[in-house]
Amino acid sequence: MSDEFLMKNGEKQMNNIAIKVENLVKKFGKGENEVTVINGADFTLKKGEFAALVAPSGAGKTTLLMMIGCVLEPTSGRIEIGGEVVYDNKWTVKDDRALRRKKLGFIFQAHYLIPFLNVEENVSLLPYENGEPEKVVKPRVKGLLDYLGVGDKLKNMPSELSGGQNQRVAIARALANNPSIILADEPTAALDTKRSVDVVKLLRKIAKEKEVTIIMVTHDDRLLPYCDKVLTIVDKKVEVKEQLEGVII
């Protein structure tokens, strides 16, 4: 096997990495009041992988998610997003807000749609904030809503939609800036079992078809077979389980 082949293969694998976290630590407080929440997170996710993050309440799931999302500053460690080092014992990006707007999408337990804006306006907000022209944004938003099965709700207000429909609109909003990564904090917690499964199937479809890497916090073990990897927090460290068998397509 030639050195050139090994080099090209190595470069290909590096280019395929969406998230790389090394020895990430998060502590709150100081002195006697100091509490360590995460004490050594190490994992890598590739483009298009769908990972579940599972742990008991208070174990640090949302804390980990918000550090990866450049919302919460770690205490130490290293975070790489799409080949760019964003944190290396300090923030290495000049504008973390711009990074979130361009590379990341967020989905929450509640849809947080703006009640006085219609569906199209809610989904269009971030692309317009990024300075994209209307002629580009409008067809993209319509295409996303069609893709998610709510294209006929373009002019509806959030109050006119069901819980499942609102969550689909929230997913469209998360995708509207063409992110490479989506961070979903218990996106199915407010839905019944059938709608929860529908949303998770949709997230898996998005991950595979659009090569978007997704980390989903969940308490529902029934959703884990739809994921490629399961991240757990044990003794304040992150463990990774590969779902090599039994993944539901």
Give the CATH number, domain containing residue 130. 3.40.50.300
pLDDT value at position 6?
46
- Structural domain contains residue 249: no
What value does the CA radius of gyration of the chain take, rounded to a whole number of Å?
Answer: 19
Counting every residue, how long is the chain? 249
Domain with 63, as residue range(s), is 3-242
Give tens-digit pLDDT for 15-60: 789 999 999 999 999 888 999 999 989 999 999 999 999 988 888 9
pLDDT at 87 over 50: yes
* Percent of all residues in the chain with a pLDDT value above 70, rounded to a whole number: 92
Task: Give the residue with greater pLDDT, 25 vs 193.
Answer: 25
Mean pLDDT score of the chain: 88
pLDDT value at position 1?
55
Amino acid of residue 10: G
* Percent of all residues in the chain with a pLDDT value above 90, rounded to a whole number: 56
pLDDT at 7 over 50: no
115-131 exposure pattern, b = at least 16 Cβ within 10 A, e = fewer: eeebbbbbbbebbeeee
pLDDT at 193 over 90: no
- Structural domain contains residue 57: yes
Cα–Cα–Cα angle for 105, 75, 50, rounded to 5 degrees: 30
Q: What is the pTM of this model?
A: 0.85
Give tens-digit pLDDT for 196-231: 888 889 899 989 998 999 999 998 888 999 999 999
Name the domain count of the chain: 1
5 — pLDDT class (breaks 50, 70, 90)? very low
- Structural domain contains residue 248: no
